[in-house]
Structure 1
Amino acid sequence: MKCFIKDDLVLSRPPEGPVASYIVPFAEWLGDRGYGLVSMRNQVLMAAGFSKWLGHKGLELSDISGDHARRYLLDRAQRPKLGDAAALRHLLAFLRSQNAIAEEIEADHNPSPVEQHVQAYEWYLRDARALARETIINYRPVVREFLNYRFGDGEVSLAQLRADDVTKFVQQKVSRLNLRRAKITTTALRSFLSYARFRGDVTSDLAAAVPIVANWSLSSIPRAIGRDEVSRLLASIDRDTPIGCRDYAMILALARLGLRSSEVVTLELDDIDWVAGEIHVVGKNGQRNDLPLPADVGEAIADYLRKSRPRNASRRVFLRDKAPIRGFTGQCGLGSVIRRSLKRAGIDAPTMGTHQFRHGLASEMLRGGASLGEIGEVLGHRHVQTTAIYAKVDLDALRTLALPWPGEAQ
């Protein structure tokens, strides 16, 4: 006797076992997240088989844990194939979302003394300092490496740290790094040592012992994409496809508003005030910036929302195009969009990243007569020194300041 899960999804027999009543809602849950019919069918079959196995084992719904999913894959007659484990993870996540099974309690894996300190520092950054996830990801390995360098596998006593430990670690490590990674290393180390002093584990200001990485202020010129290249890039995008409609709106927001990639991917539906024609952006350190919404950007976003955005409960404006359908989990997704679009358009851009659009807008504003203060306000800079680097972009104005070459004919 067949069992209809959905109009186009049928099982040869009704599901049995403790999860049987959740099979249909699970299929709907998968559909809401954008999984295709083939993927949904495989995951529903896996859920039905798992439920039947649980019933044969005499297990109730309240008994289910991640360990049972692993045991089921080992007990089955056929060999596990790609996607089987993920299907069971999705099923367990769905059951937890319905409060049908308990949240998984992480096993006590007895973290090493170094890991205990790294975890405590991470909690401090996240809960007390509210730092961005990307910042924590950058800082964590530096602290882990420093503690391993000083204490190895033994007990960690931060009170034993000395300035000599700090300087030797930095000298040994940064010699193998480029400038950007070297600065991240020293910044992370200062942050950790300040945290250790805040906790009372360290009484002296060891953060001051971290050597300074030479980085001359305003030593470089921002690598900005030109206005013509931006126009070519936007014109190359096929806006008749859902992905192209989304990519066009995101890139236009980068180019016209000078947003950071994180500000684009975290933009929410409630951040756009269509009546006032404003967009509310949450920048670094939670700083909120209200910007006028240009007509072309608003039209591009509205076009995406009306025609191409998948039906989804997420409040994010821009969603992934692959299942599970949700907002971007980080900035890498938008970076991939930029690289793919530049390559398709055949544009030899200054970089492959998103920041070139921000630099491009600032450069165009400067050439149009905007002051550094006005540029900084649009870009959300808190300090004028951050914007000062764009003064070097106006090469024509700088040439008027150049002294004549000695001996040059008058």
Structure 2
Amino acid sequence: MARSHSAGRPRPDLRAARSHLPEPFAAAVDGFERHLALERGLSNHTVRGYVGDVVSLLSGLPGPGDPVLAGLDVTALRQWLSSQLDGGASRSTLARRTASARVFTAWAVRSGLLAVDPGLRLASPATQRDLPPVLRTDQADDALHAAAAGAQQEDPVALRDHAVLELLYATGVRVGELCGLDVDDVDREHRVVQVVGKGDRERTVPFGAPADEALQKWLAGGRPLLCGDSSGAALFLGVRGRRLDQRAVRRLAHDAVGSVPGAPDIGPHGFRHSAATHLLEGGADLRSVQELLGHATLAATQLYTHVTVERLKAIHDRTHPRS
């Protein structure tokens, strides 16, 4: 079973702002962070986002009162969000920060730090979900073929990079899920991988023959050369033998598509978008794609139907005689 791993230290600006909070506010942030990580089981990345938003919110409040967060009312929340808007925050960012504030105020009431929950009166700004950039199938093939060609040199890093890209595209897993994989999470006999996603939800995701071949070469001829005392059971390793870092995977993904003419500049999440889009274009049903991607709701997966519809419209406009 895959396990979650730290995705890095807090940003220096967040640490500085947090260190300047009054002690009762800092204690509230600490308690909220423990709640998110231990009780709700959120990912490190999500926890950092929520905590960063709450630190920003509390930094503008008057000093602690009785109860501790007495100054946190709906007016203060709206003023904070207005300042974010004035600072250039997008609608999607405002929606996320609104959600962070609501989760925090609900927790604060349960913890006795607030008498009433002002987040209940806070409206979320409507967001417009942009279509994510995706690779065409031929562009994905070109990127993976280039990685395979590099792996022919039997260099352990090249073997690893090829296996990482093949698995990203084959499974559509999130970059954090991929970096958190252990060797035992991969069942090559049945060509499936066990993934623990958001909310500690576990799922089984299949992969095909190209990814299996790349994994076999990495496990046999690449991983043993990078493995060291600090490797543990990690499936993918960095050059120093530690578990592969998400930032390294992001650089790898950008570099891989950068060599493909006309391909959009995407990272690991772009490979996830591409995998979902190509599955739907190939005839997969929406429920199956939802399960493969680990989406909690079907609404999140439905975004990809818009991608495929837009592609169909573009093909129609380009090819139909009466378009």
TM over 0.5: yes
Structure 2 partner of 1:232: 142
Structure 2 partner of 1:184: 96
Structure 2 partner of 1:283: 197
Task: Give 3-state SS (helix, strand or coil) of 1:308's partner.
Answer: helix
TM superposition shift of 1:291:
2.0
Structure 2 partner of 1:293: 207
Q: Does 1:221 align with 2:136?
A: no
Paired AA for residue 377 in structure 1: E
TM superposition shift of 1:111:
7.2
Tell me the distance in 1 between the aligned counterparts of 2:166 and 2:291: 19
Decide which of 342, 345, 362 is 2:257's aligned counterpart: 342
Q: Which runs of 5+ in 1 are unaligned?
A: 1-108, 403-408
Paired AA for residue 263 in structure 1: E
Paired AA for residue 42 in structure 2: L
Q: Does structure 2 conserve the Cα–Cα contact (< 8 Å) formed by 1:233 and 1:347?
A: no
Aligned pairs (5 A) from 1:115-264: 115-151=26-62, 154-155=63-64, 157-175=68-86, 176-216=88-128, 219-237=129-147, 238-239=150-151, 240=153, 241-264=155-178
Q: Does structure 2 conserve the Cα–Cα contact (< 8 Å) formed by 1:197 and 1:204?
A: yes
Paired AA for residue 339 in structure 1: H
Tell me the distance in 2 between the aligned counterparts of 1:268 and 1:146: 38
TM superposition shift of 1:396:
6.4
Q: Does structure 1 conserve the Cα–Cα contact (< 8 Å) formed by 2:92 and 2:127?
A: no
Structure 1 partner of 2:248: 333
**Length-normalised TM-score, structure 2:** 0.81
Amino-acid identity (%): 24
Tell me the distance in 2 between the aligned counterparts of 1:190 and 1:274: 43
Tell me the distance in 1 between the aligned counterparts of 2:291 and 2:52: 34
TM superposition shift of 1:318:
0.3
**Length-normalised TM-score, structure 1:** 0.64
Bigger Cα Rg? 1
Structure 2 partner of 1:315: 233
Paired AA for residue 122 in structure 1: E
Paired AA for residue 169 in structure 1: W
Task: Give 3-state SS (helix, strand or coil) of 1:222's partner.
Answer: coil
Tell me the distance in 1 between the aligned counterparts of 2:188 and 2:260: 35
Tell me the distance in 1 between the aligned counterparts of 2:91 and 2:156: 40
> How many residues matched?
287
The 1:135–1:224 alpha-carbon spacing in structure 2 relative to 1, beyond 3 Å, is same
The 1:214–1:132 alpha-carbon spacing in structure 2 relative to 1, beyond 3 Å, is same
Task: Give 3-state SS (helix, strand or coil) of 1:236's partner.
Answer: helix
Q: Which runs of 5+ in 2 are unaligned?
A: 1-18
TM superposition shift of 1:308:
1.0
Q: Does 1:359 align with 2:278?
A: no
